[in-house]
Structures are given as structure tokens and as C-alpha cells.
Amino acid sequence: MIDTTEERTALVTGAGGGMGREIARQLRDRGIRVAIADLDAAGLVETAGGGEGVLHLAGDLTRDGAADDAVAAVLARWGRIDVLVNNAGYGAIEPFLAMTRKAWDRTLGINVTALAMLTAAAGRAMKDAGRGRIVNITSPASRMALPNYVAYAASKAAVDAITRAAAVALAPHGVLVNALAPGMMDTEMQRSTEATIAEIEGRTDVAAFLAERTRRIPLGRRAEVAEIAASVVWLALDAPDYMTAERLNMSGGLDKD
């Protein structure tokens, strides 16, 4: 369990809305000073809600040097970085035989390269401090055959690989690296993704399509954003100090391994 006797700091990416916003808010509720990063500057303002102890980092995390700049900004503001949550993500829906290089480049740029660079940048600072926790957001998609969503699925398989490698690299320095795989949620990204999949599959009754997908979940319901965010916060603050290189599934039984 992370020591909360001193003020700790966290960097949460993709915090301009959705799950990233909820993660940032729950961390703040725990007394953590939070840096929030996103392309959507207006979304960051809404996430912060006028509260103190929040650092806004609006910009493109795929830019060369963006990861180092983000971590440097946190260190300049507070002198430490205790938690990194790599939540920013992107997913393009394209039929397998009609995939485009543009979609692959954007998906891998955000979901893989930016995540890896941020993990390394934060890892260097955490190594010097002798402590820290990194949580990467993966997906059940990483272990599924999804011909209309293959770039996203492949990118999340890469996140799993990065998580394991980073955990081993940083273990001698007291830094824990784990991943969380959330199930279906009612977020903007989830809604737009499923609507596009329905269109590609020729499904005109989107409500029926969504209901069918929900029935695939053994628990019979979709996840609440707040309960997924709480699991991320648990990994970031409360999980045992012996837990690293792990993938925590929060998919209602959809991902059973």
C-alpha cells in the first residue's frame, strides 16, 4: 500500500473526459495531487472543476519529446511523481480487408508509442526516487479475434507486453507496473465504437445490437465507469507491494483468463 503520510502526485492521461476524468477525480478524493493530460484543453478544465492541486497538460502525447515534457512539468510543479496512469486511448473501426495505414499509425502512436515513452519517462524519475506505481489501461480486446477492430486489439496486446517488460525493468528500483483491462462501459468511446461496428456489420437496430453484446457478459451488465476507476485507483495506491507485472481483469467475466 502506498504511504499517504506525505502528499503524493499522479499523472493521468486521457483525463479530458470519460474514465480518465473519473480516475483523476477519485485520486483527488484520496488527497493525491493530480496532473491531467489530454488533447482536449476544455475537457481538462471540466475535469479539474476549478479545484486546487491540479496541473493541466494540454497537448499531443504522440509528439516527439511529449512524454519527457509531461513528466518534467510534474516534477517542476511538485518535485515528485508517484503514480502514472496511462489511460489515453484511441480505436479505429475498419473492416480487416479495408484497413488503412493512417488508422494504424494513429492507433499505435497513441496506444503504444506514447504509452511506452511515458512509462519510460516516469520510470526514470521513479527509479531515482526508489518508489512509484504505473498503471496501464489494456483491454479484453488484446486476446480476442476482432477483424473489424484489429489495430486496437493489436495495440492493447502491445500494452500487455510493455507492462510486463517495464515491471521487470523497474522492479529492482521499487517501482510497480500493472495493467487493468476494463469491460464494456457507457463511455463516449465505447458508444461510438459500437455504433460503427453495428454499421459495418449491417445492423440497423443498434439498441438490439448493444443488448446482444451486453448479454455476452457473464454478470449480465455493463461496468460503471466509477467502479472501473476505483479499480485503477486501487492498483495505484492500495494494491500490495508484491504485486507487479499483473493484468487485472474487470470485465464482468467476459475476459476469463
Q: Would you state the torsion angle of the CA atoms of residues 154, 183, 239, 20, taken in this order, to the nearest 10 degrees?
A: 80
SS3 85: strand
3-state secondary structure of 4: coil
The residue assigned the cell 451488465 is: 221
Concerning whether 149 is annotated as a catalytic residue, the answer is: no
User: C-alpha grid cell for residue 165?
Assistant: 517488460
List for the chain the helix, strand, coil content (%; round to 5).
50, 15, 35
Side-chain-side CA neighbours of residue 229 (13 Å): 22
Q: Which residues are catalytic?
A: 152
